[in-house]
Amino acid sequence: MQAIDGYTRTCGLIGNPVEHTLSPVIHNTLAELTGQKLCYVPFHVETGRLEDAVKGAYALNLLGLNVTVPYKSEVIPFLKEIDPLAQKIGAVNTLVRMEGGYKGYNTDMPGLYRAMCADGVKIEGERVLILGAGGVARAVAVLLAEKGANEIILMNRTVEKAKKVAGEVNGYAGRELVKAMANEDYGKLPQDRKYLVIQATSVGLHPHDEDVVIEDEAFYERIHTGYDLIFNPPQTKFMKLVQAHGGRAFNGAKMLLYQGVIAYEYWTNTQITEEQAQTVFEAMQRKD
């Protein structure tokens, strides 16, 4: 552990709750690995105090902040600037100090992309199903559109919600790339195709380990690779079903890792190596 003195810069996490976060493990380990005089602390921000928290952080000379639920969209009005990708996604998870305030970025989706690359999962030219139509699913659809997916289908219990999100993302993409489908209609998918499937809901999150969006095992025959954005439990029922039917399956732990790595790179203007990232990943697993 580095000595903390008057030269130590502070970064942190704002959210509600923040008590179980792994972010301090990520950033304090990175600080040790890179020799930066930096300390990372979680800050529990009560409902209605977000603007105070952002202004207070700036007044206290905090170098940067991560933002977690429920404030990823709420924080936007209190920023000096916002990065175009974060603007498209409509959510910010990283604040970088600049003259007069903070600039907002979304490192969740670049983090997911870096994680998928590290796991050998490609997006370009792929046919992709996204389970869910909430904020995370919308962000994933934006990422897939930007990275050259060939086809994107948003699958949701409420098809109208999926249609709304699909329309928004198609507006950004400038073409009819994203389609909507009700979960129960998966049987209408072409029989001869297999898909990359990204599980972007909270279904299956601990302690509901045995829950899954689509129960029917026939659905999992259609999946060559399953990516569950949940990382607790490490092996979700979705992942087990994908693997049982011959597909590869990954969880969201590396997305969490890389969103943190990218935020750290923004704050410190450093480039984290894959070896350093792996060291941090091992520290996260020990902590978890």
Q: How many CB atoms lie within 10 A of CB 177?
A: 17
CB 197 within 8 A of CB 131: yes
- Longest Cα–Cα distance of the chain, Å, equals 64
Q: What is the DSSP string of 252-285?
A: SHHHHHHHHHHHHHHHHT----HHHHHHHHHHHH
Q: What is the DSSP string of 138-190?
A: HHHHHHHHHTT-SEEEEEESSHHHHHHHHHHHHHHHTSS-EEEEEGGGGGGS-
167/178 Cα distance (integer angstroms): 8
Give the DSSP letter of residue 27.
H
Find the catalytic residue in 55, 72, 161, 164. 72
Catalytic annotation present for 72 = yes
Q: Please, which residues have CB within 8 angstroms of residue 173's CB and are 6 or more apart in sequence?
A: 145
260/284 Cα distance (integer angstroms): 12
Q: How far is CA 237 from CA 61, 135, 245, in A?
A: 44, 22, 13
Residues annotated as catalytic are 72
